Structure 1
């Protein structure tokens, strides 16, 4: 096989591989869009991230086709007849993909901002609910500490639980391991209530400790949400921007030089 035949075979292989890469990538984009929910910001974030991760595949396919065209041009000693030129749809596709990835940059960053704000609002709501529950428990314990009758009832309940745990029976029925474990947990909880109710200073200290833990957890979760949004924005946003630049350069330069000899080697004039 001579050099010309080898080059022709190489050109054909590059075109086939490039076409397969482009078609498979576009089909992949279509399948990723299912189910189609363009108004859902979470769907937009997921879809954008996935197509950006696969965004280099069509560019590789386009490069293969353009290299194949260049190889064919180097082998041709006669000017190409007018007709269908594979470079035109390739350059148009590159321009469209460049526009797509360019538009995805601000859209993705805005969606991440909205998602981050929503996550922070949910964290704030959860922290408010937890703080409300803590305050309710504090009020109950404070009321318990000021009511001797309720303290006596608590002591009586603890004695009954102690007897049940010691005997392993409740009302004559033997406790199974799960029931015994739940009873021990209830005993521990009641004992904590009793200790806190009898010690107002410890109750105040416990309240302050829980509020501090809750505040620290809220700040930590908010920080993680913001950091994750920044990381995802930088990774996907910059990748999409670089893909947009690459596709636009290929498409713009190709369309600008289309019809000329941008992909054809310049031949020395015959004297």
Structure 2
């Protein structure tokens, strides 16, 4: 008599909860599978993007499972749930528990994969920054050499020097510096060396800042995604273990 006068609304609500949960889980599985394509495990950026998105979307199946078990709970409260002595492979709960175990193990394995990938990308970025710094230093040397050579040639020709001064809007400090270079050619070399030292120091500082930023990004990503994956793994494993353990205790 317990389930003879059940209102259709609560019964439908229980079914809709289970249906919503199933759709949410299937939606998460399909989207996760699509992330694999195009498959390129050897690419660091692909691996980092894949692990990050999988872990960030890992909460969706949990919500789907929660909705499903809310539906099962309503059915038991209403007395319309069929009696089940144990969880078998023909039962949807069995596959949910199995999926939870699989997801728990997967998220545990994703932790070292993501951390190693984040570190590898950081090292790759640092190497690229070092290469760019070498190129920038070479370009700086070439520009300074050209500047010193052109100024030295200009200072030796009074006519060209006067034309240069008349064409360029030079400040008093610049005019005084040109006069100094003309009277003392070694002063030009000294000034060039000062500029080289200053710009080289600036390039080195920019490189170090970029390297520190890349390394900090890798650390933040490793901590955030790693802890998130650990929490997801513990939740999924708890669901799977509780389900199978609970079904065994009922059989006893």
Could you tell me how far apart the structure 2 residues matched to 1:22 and 1:123 are? 42
1:64 pairs, out of 51, 63, 67, with 67
The Cα of 1:156 is off from its aligned counterpart by 2.7
Q: Which runs of 5+ in 1 are unaligned?
A: 166-183, 263-271
Q: Measure, in 2, the Cα distance between the counterparts of 1:115 and 1:195.
A: 48
Distance 1:39 1:14 in 2: 41
1:53 aligns with 2:56: yes
How high is the TM-score relative to the length of structure 2? 0.80
Pick which of 105-114 and 74-83 moved more: 74-83
The alpha-carbon deviation at position 99 of structure 1 amounts to 1.0
Stretches of structure 2 that go unaligned for 5 or more consecutive residues are: 182-186
Deviations, residues 8-27 of structure 1 (Å, cap 9, x unaligned):
22210111000110111111
Q: 2:131 aligns with which of 104, 125, 139?
A: 125
144, 153, 159: which one aligns with 2:163: 159
Q: Name the CA shift for 1:78/1:29 in 2 (closer, same or farther; >3 Å).
A: closer
Within 5 Å, give how 1:97-246 maps onto structure 2: 97-142=103-148, 149=153, 151-152=155-156, 156=160, 159=163, 195=178, 198=181, 199-200=187-188, 201-246=190-235
Pairwise CA distance, 1:260:
4.4
Q: Which residue of 2 aligns with 1:181?
A: none
Q: TM-score, normalised by structure 1?
A: 0.74
Tell whether 2:16 aligns with 1:13: yes
SS at match of 1:37: coil
In the TM superposition, what whole-angstrom CA distance separates every residue of 1:41-74 from its partner, at most 9, and x where no partner exists?
Answer: 2101001111211111111111111222232233
Asked if 1:23 corresponds to 2:23, the answer is no
Q: Secondary structure at the match of 2:110?
A: helix
Equivalent pairs counted in the alignment come to 236
Tell me how far 1:153 sits from its aligned partner.
Answer: 6.2
Give the drift of 1:206: 1.2
Aligned to 2:243: 254
